[in-house]
Amino acid sequence: MPSVLPLGDPAPSNGLLPPQVVDGAADRAFGLYVHIPFCAVRCGYCDFNTYTATELGGGASQDAYASTAVSEVKLAARALKASGLPPRPLRTVFFGGGTPTLLPAEDLARILGAAIDEWGIEPGAEVTTEANPDSVTPESLALLKDAGFTRVSFGMQSAVPHVLKVLDRTHTPSRVPQVVQWARDAGLAVSLDLIYGTPGESLDDWRYSLETALSYEPDHISAYALIVEDGTKLAAQIRRGDVPGIDDDDHAAKYELADQLISAAGLDWYEVSNWARTPEQACRHNLAYWRGDDWWGIGPGAHSHVGGVRWWNVKHPTAYAGRLAQAVSPAAGRETLDAETRNVERIMLEARLVSGLGIESLGEQGRHAVAGLIADGLVDAPAAFHGRLHLTLKGRLLADAVVRRILPD
């Protein structure tokens, strides 16, 4: 969730959605994203809409946040019903941030409970929280499990102390196996998030981080290339020459190593940056984003999407709390996606999935581009001959370039 909101059309104060969102709604899954915008320390690379205690100012507090979020849950339920959408139980819930587990586990449980009270929840639904390794205890994880959480995603990032220092991470590497065991003892599935390409990280450093993470036998791993965002502390450090810049060849070598080691450990890729031990352990919430399902985003700066209408909340927790205190929607703006935009977004996202794209769903330019993509080793030839566009390993490294070639000009 980038910190800068897009421009858009005005959003109604009651949260109502236009009539077209009802079309096909019964066939679309419904999920909930809950943004917890608090962090103990702002990481130098982070551009997300997060706040430390000293940045909050008056009118917003972590103590009151659960009550404010529950207010939006109730507003969302009223707005969806009044907009004519059919009742749909939650298929996935994802608490992200920030650091959701900076809030007491009781607060997270209260928000989840309110959502289940309003919408119900499907049997076997996936309920995830992100967590920093130093923000949980055995007791808090057990409470989350009892409340209905099924999965925890730990921000491990690296197993190398000097890399964690550049990233401004506050945990020590020895903490990770401890919290993984606590989560397993509580009955939660475990995902580990890793970042590669940090300035000063060698290939051997990255290999060590991968091997260390895999030794904990997680159910799921995400490995993301570090992106230097304008306005961050890290961007300033690189500009001043305090740390080296980002190298695309280094990123490519590290991605190839990640795929090699993670695959050898028995996890399969299902999206360019994500691997799961079984298909059932893929992150269903993220798959819902990539496949264009419906979700409501709770929290400051959170984005939502229902039936081709996308909207986003005001950024600052103070403004967010103020609107909900007046029973007014916190939406700052919205847009209605036309058919062409939705198709472009579908191609951009589905091309990154292991399931790939049906070639017949591409436009004429995209279909004609497939032969060249096969010749360049970017797309799997046998799959293409059977009508599916599947990225090869080389294609995953150049996924954005593949998408540009299959999209209409």
Looking only at the bridges linking them, the beta strands covering 309-313 and 331-336 are antiparallel
SS3 content of the chain, % helix, strand, coil (to 5): 45, 20, 35
Query: Does one domain contain both 280 and 365?
Result: no
Query: Does one domain contain both 286 and 408?
Result: no
Q: What is the CATH number of the domain that holds 187?
A: 3.20.20.70
Query: Does one domain contain both 263 and 353?
Result: no
DSSP letter string, 52-68: -HHHH-TT--HHHHHHH
Give the 3-state secondary structure of residue 47: coil
Query: Does one domain contain both 217 and 351?
Result: no
Is 86 exposed, middle or buried (CB count within 10 Å of its CB: 0-12, 13-18, 19+)? Answer: exposed
Query: Does one domain contain both 54 and 186?
Result: yes
Query: Does one domain contain both 90 and 199?
Result: yes
Q: Each residue of 187-234: pLDDT tens digit?
A: 999 999 999 999 999 999 999 999 999 999 999 999 999 987 677 777
Peptide bond into 372 cis (omega under 30): no
Containing 252, the helix (H) or strand (E) segment is: helix 248-264
The domain in which residue 396 lies consists of 339-409
Query: Does one domain contain both 240 and 121?
Result: yes
Structure tokens at 378: 């970017």
Contacts of 157 (CB under 8 A, 6+ apart): 163, 164, 167, 169, 193, 194, 195
Q: What does pLDDT average to in each consecutive run of 10 residues of the chain (409 residues)?
A: 68 96 96 94 70 63 93 98 98 96 97 98 98 97 98 97 90 95 98 96 98 98 86 73 80 97 98 98 97 97 97 95 96 95 94 96 95 98 97 97 92
Number of domains in the chain: 2
Q: Each residue of 10-57: pLDDT tens digit?
A: 999 999 999 999 999 999 999 999 999 998 876 766 667 778 765 665
Question: What pLDDT is attached to residue 2?
Answer: 47
Question: What pLDDT is attached to residue 229?
Answer: 65
Contacts 24+ apart (CB under 8 A), 379-384: 383/356, 384/359
Rounded-to-integer distance, Cα 115 and Cα 98, Å? 20
Rounded-to-integer distance, Cα 368 and Cα 349, Å? 20
Rounded-to-integer distance, Cα 222 and Cα 216, Å? 14
Rounded-to-integer distance, Cα 17 and Cα 151, Å? 31
Query: Does one domain contain both 343 and 220?
Result: no
Containing 118, the helix (H) or strand (E) segment is: helix 105-119
Query: Does one domain contain both 270 and 343?
Result: no
Query: Does one domain contain both 241 and 382?
Result: no
**Domain membership flag for residue 62:** yes
Question: What pLDDT is attached to residue 55?
Answer: 64
DSSP letter string, 203-229: HHHHHHHHHHHHHT--SEEEEEE----
